[in-house]
């Protein structure tokens, strides 16, 4: 009887040891290489040169979503057609990134043919609340705009992260509601 209990105890210890994962470094192939973005500095992202020239607050959407506007330029020097990087506003309050808005003149993830330059502005909103995605977070601490490029051949990703000052976030929260975008053609 005693021998059976010892054998059973050893089996329990061995079995429990087999089911636990050892802590270690993440092997998540989807995790991007993170780089600190600097306003005005050109970065090469898989053959696409990207430079952010300005980052400021913007009017709120007609649905009262606080927004920022990012001035950006991309140039495809890769020798093949590519896509513009994705752009999101990341905040401590939400695991999701805020999306870009219609009316932007530079399109995240838009086709960028070889040798083409694309320059314009991207309007990005605050991300959704984790507990209720119908609403956005009321403020954005540890704010950063993430410019995320993906290599279509390897799946490797690079995330340029531009810190957003608390003053810019506060200005976006206090900004008035703006018109719907894109604006209609002017009638003469």
pLDDT digits (tens, 9 = 90+) for 82-129: 999 999 999 999 999 999 998 999 999 999 999 999 999 999 999 999
- Report H helices in 123-165: none
51 Cβ contact partners less than 8 Å away, ≥ 6 residues apart: 40, 41, 42, 43, 72, 73
- Is the entire prediction scored with pTM above 0.85? no
Fold of 32-174: Immunoglobulin-like (2.60.40)
Nearest to 162 by CA among 79, 55, 5, 23: 55
The vertex-74 CA angle with 71 and 77, nearest 5°, equals 165
pLDDT in tens, 53-78: 999 999 999 999 999 999 999 999 99
- State the residue for tokens 């200005």: 171
């Amino acid at each position: 009887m005693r021998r059976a209990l010892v054998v059973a105890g050893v089996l329990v210890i061995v079995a429990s040891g087999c089911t636990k994962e050892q802590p270690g470094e993440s092997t998540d192939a989807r995790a991007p290489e993170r780089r600190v973005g600097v306003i005005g500095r050109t970065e090469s992202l898989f053959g696409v040169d990207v430079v952010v020239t300005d980052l400021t607050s913007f009017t709120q959407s007609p649905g009262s979503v606080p927004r920022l506007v990012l001035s950006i330029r991309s140039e495809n020097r890769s020798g093949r057609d590519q896509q513009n990087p994705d752009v999101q506003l990341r905040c401590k309050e939400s695991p999701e990134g805020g999306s870009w808005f219609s009316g932007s003149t530079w399109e995240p993830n838009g086709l960028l043919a070889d040798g083409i330059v694309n320059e314009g502005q991207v309007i990005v909103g605050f991300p959704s609340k984790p507990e209720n995605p119908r609403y956005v977070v009321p403020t954005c601490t540890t704010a950063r705009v993430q410019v995320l490029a993906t290599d279509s051949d390897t799946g490797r990703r690079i995330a340029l992260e531009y810190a957003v000052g608390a003053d810019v976030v506060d200005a976006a929260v206090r900004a008035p509601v703006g018109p719907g975008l894109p604006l209609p053609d002017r009638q003469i």
